[in-house]
Amino acid sequence: MESQETTQLMSIGRFARLTGLTVKALRHYDELGLLRPAAVDPETGYRSYSSAQIGRAEAIRLLRRLELSLDDVATLVATDDPAAVRRVLLDHQRRTAMRSAELNIVLQGLQPLIDGKEPVMGTHAEALDREAQRRLAADCFNKAWTLMEKQDRTREDDDEMVHCAHASSYHWHQVGTAANRARGEWQCSRVYAVLGRTEPALHHARRCLEIVEASPAEMEEFDLPAAYEALARAHSVAGDVDEARRHVELGREAAAKIVDEDDRNLIEADLATIEP
């Protein structure tokens, strides 16, 4: 006599129809460990699923329809921590918002071509308007910062973090002030320091200081100590103890002159994390 558990199992085809997932997707999710079958016939290799797995399958289908990555889906279906769920969804929302903004710019650029107001050939495509570039610069800066603070970054996250920092810096160089450009270089240096990449961390920290010193009237009080902090961190990553300590002291001296207490505390806290 068949057990109750066995009679409740269903073929992969039936399970696919019930959940809206394809058979190919179910096999892939099995290989990834995302949705294992309840049983596998040892002779034929046929997969069978139970009705108790329908909820997980439907959750996976919903999340994939919302274009979450398989890594994010695996995290969401495996955790009961509301904070972790919210963090993953917010990160995906930010990425989607950035992509949406970029697609809107593409749509705006297509319409004049469709209406015949601009020729497809013979002229350069119109550059992004200044407001769009400012928005992209800020969005990319914030995204890079979010990734820097992420505890379990993947190699793909590291790549995205670098690209976002450079994209933000690029747009600020097009439409921003000298202060914006300096802060873009500062973030590029911080990103490379986080990744332990000495040469670019030093390069961007030096550029940050050069820009700050070239246009002091355009800077806020925190920009100079922030530039020193970037150089101290980059030298620390490089193992240059003397230069790291020297720039930490320069940063502290400059930070002491900041009137705003919150800005001063932020710089001093950053400097305190550097261990030459």
C-alpha distances out from residue 151 to 79, 148, 174, 201, 266, Å: 16, 8, 32, 20, 21
Rounded CA separation 136/56 (Å): 36
**Among 65, 87, 107, residue at a domain's last position:** 65
- Nearest-CA neighbor of 34 among 57, 17, 58? 57
What are phi and psi for residue 120, nearest 5 degrees?
-75, -35
- Same domain for 61 and 138, yes or no, is no
Q: Are residues 54 and 137 in the same domain?
A: no
> Is the whole model's pTM more than 0.95, yes or no?
no
pLDDT for residue 25 is more than 90: yes
**Does residue 96 lie within any of the structural domains?**
no
**Same structural domain, 39 and 133:** no
Which stretches of the chain are assigned E, i.e. beta strand? Answer: 10-11, 39-40, 47-49
- Same domain membership, residue 133 and residue 262: yes
pLDDT in tens, 140-152: 999 999 999 888 9
61 and 133 co-located in one domain: no
**Residue 32's domain is classified under what CATH number?**
1.10.1660.10
Instruction: Establish how many alpha carbons lie within 13 A of residue 130's alpha carbon, considering only the half-sphere containing its beta carbon.
Output: 3
- How many domains, the chain? 2
142 and 57 together in one domain: no
Determine the average pLDDT of the residues in 239-252.
Answer: 96
**Residue 36: other Cβ atoms inside 10 A:** 15
> What's the average model confidence in pLDDT over 79-87?
92
pLDDT at 262: 86
Say whether both 55 and 146 belong to one domain: no
Inside any domain, residue 80? no
Cα 32 from Cα 26, distance rounded (Å)? 10
Confidence of residue 126 (pLDDT cuts 50, 70, 90): very low
In a domain, 105, yes or no: no
Q: What is the model's pLDDT at position 263?
A: 87
Residue 247 reports pLDDT greater than 90: yes
CATH number for the domain harbouring residue 133: 1.25.40.10
Q: 132 and 22: one domain?
A: no
- Same domain for 168 and 43: no
Q: Which domain holds residue 55?
A: 8-65
pLDDT at res. 255: 95
Out of 44, 65, 86, a domain closes at: 65
pLDDT at 97: 87
Q: Is residue 123 part of a domain?
A: no
Residues 146, 242, single domain; the answer is yes
Q: How far apart are CA 86 and CA 84, in angstroms?
A: 5
Domain boundary among 65, 82, 108: 65
What is residue 216's DSSP assignment? G
Are 34 and 169 contained in the same domain? Answer: no
Across the chain, mean pLDDT equals 89
Q: How confident is the model at residue 127 (pLDDT cuts 50, 70, 90)?
A: low
Asked if residue 159 has pLDDT above 50, the reply is yes
- Spatial neighbors of 238 by CB under 8 A, at least 6 apart, are 198, 201, 202
